[in-house]
Amino acid sequence: MFVSKLIRRSCAIVGVVALTSVAWAQPASKDKEFQPEVGQSGKDVVWVPTAQTLVNKMLDMAKLTPQDYLIDLGSGDGRTVITAAKRGARAHGIEYNPDMVELSKRNAAKEGVAGKATFEKADIFASDYSKATVITLFLLPELNVKLRPTILDMKPGTRIAANSFDMGDWKPDQTARVEGDCTSWCTAYLWIVPAKVAGTWKLPQGELTLKQQYQSISGALNSGGRSTVISKATLNGDHISFTAGGAAYSGRVNGNTIEGSMTGGGKNTSWTATRN
């Protein structure tokens, strides 16, 4: 067991198998209010709280605003959800341990954000979190990778902020490290769900073929019988940009349509593409 201060100070991991020989976790006594203990076994993880400085950093990286709906996968003692609610966002925690859920609800009430911060006892692998605009998590790598297909199907532009563990070969868009009250588990990663742009797109001036590996894109523009490889290609959520044949294209992807503007030869014109 760690110091209770540490526990209060710091939300969520880690693990894959519930361990039984926990030298430092002690059973909570029945007559006292439930107190979580760092290292306590959860469903797929043990609980390690995220330091408050890292919670703040994760929300900063996600550029959380009051218009957002945040869902924390494995919400632990609720600190991330409560912090998000205090920033004005609607926030929801999914947590498998019912004691942690109750504790989180009490904490949210104490902090005066019970109206915005909600919690439910559920298995994240059997939950629908597709309505979130921001997802936060502190899970083990394997669990992140298991969640990845579902996350990649979320609305383009959805931000995913994770503590310490990445998403396999889906490289983070941003990485940051905090110090201060954080002594371990101090790395935050941010991913932005990319629009699905792979395929062949029809433009008035020709055909655009795009290949995609998460947010990395490459391709070629076929126009007037000439094929030009696109360069400076970026994909940030639903925002795509690239350069082809001396013209800079930018646009928004909406399903099978891209609409945007292009600058080339001193002119600024709009362009539209539709996927075959």
Partner 1 sequence: MWAARLWLCAVLFAAASVYAQTSPPGIYEPEYGQPGKDVVWVPTPEIVVDTMIDLAKITASDFVIDLGSGDGRLVIAAAKRGARALGMEYDDNLVAYSRRSAEQQGVADKAQFVKADIFASDFSQATVLTLFLLPEMNERLRPQFLAMKPGTRIVANFFGIGDWSSDEAVHVPDKDKCGNYCVAYLWIVPAKIDGAWLMPQGELALVQGHQYFKGWLFANGRTTVVEQGRIRGDTLNFTVDGVSYSGRVSGNVIEGTVGHEGASVRWTATRKVP
Phi then psi for residue 107, to 5 deg, are -60, -40
Q: Which stretch binds partner 1 (CB under 8 A): 59-67, 91-99, 185-193, 260-268?
A: 185-193
Is residue 74 involved in binding partner 1 (CB under 8 A)?
no
> Is residue 118 a contact partner of residue 82, using CB atoms and an 8 Å limit?
no
Is residue 114 involved in binding partner 1 (CB under 8 A)?
no
Residues 131-160 interacting with partner 1 (rule: CB under 8 A): 140-142
Report which residue type is found at 135. Answer: I
Spell out the SS3 assignment of 215-274: CEEEEEEEECCEEEECEEEEEECCEEEEEECCEEEEEEEECCEEEEEEEECCEEEEEEEE
Is residue 39 involved in binding partner 1 (CB under 8 A)?
yes
Least CB distance to partner 1 at residue 194 (A): 21
Q: Which CA distances in Å does 26 have to 18, 20, 159, 208, 242?
A: 15, 11, 37, 61, 57
Residues 164-183 interacting with partner 1 (rule: CB under 8 A): 164-165, 175-177, 183
What counts of helices (H) and strands (E) characterise the chain? 5, 16
Q: Choose between 186 and 208: whose C-beta lies nearer to partner 1.
A: 186
Number of residues located near partner 1, criterion CB under 8 A = 32
Least CB distance to partner 1 at residue 174 (A): 10
Q: Which of 80, 104, 187, 243 binds partner 1 (CB under 8 A)?
A: 187
Is residue 24 involved in binding partner 1 (CB under 8 A)?
yes
Least CB distance to partner 1 at residue 112 (A): 30
**E runs forming strands in the chain:** 69-73, 90-95, 117-121, 134-137, 159-163, 174-177, 187-192, 199-203, 206-213, 216-223, 226-229, 231-236, 239-244, 247-254, 257-264, 267-275
Q: Which of 184, 204, 224, 270 binds partner 1 (CB under 8 A)?
A: 184
Is residue 29 involved in binding partner 1 (CB under 8 A)?
no
Q: Which stretch binds partner 1 (CB under 8 A): 20-28, 150-158, 197-205, 219-227?
A: 20-28
> Is residue 170 a contact partner of residue 193, using CB atoms and an 8 Å limit?
no
Q: Choose between 64 and 186: whose C-beta lies nearer to partner 1.
A: 186
Tokens 């590996």 sit on residue: 213
Q: Which of 38, 147, 193, 253 binds partner 1 (CB under 8 A)?
A: 38
Q: Which of 9, 16, 157, 239 binds partner 1 (CB under 8 A)?
A: 16
Q: Which residues bind partner 1 (CB under 8 A)?
A: 1-3, 13-17, 19, 21-26, 38-39, 46, 48, 140-142, 164-165, 175-177, 183-187
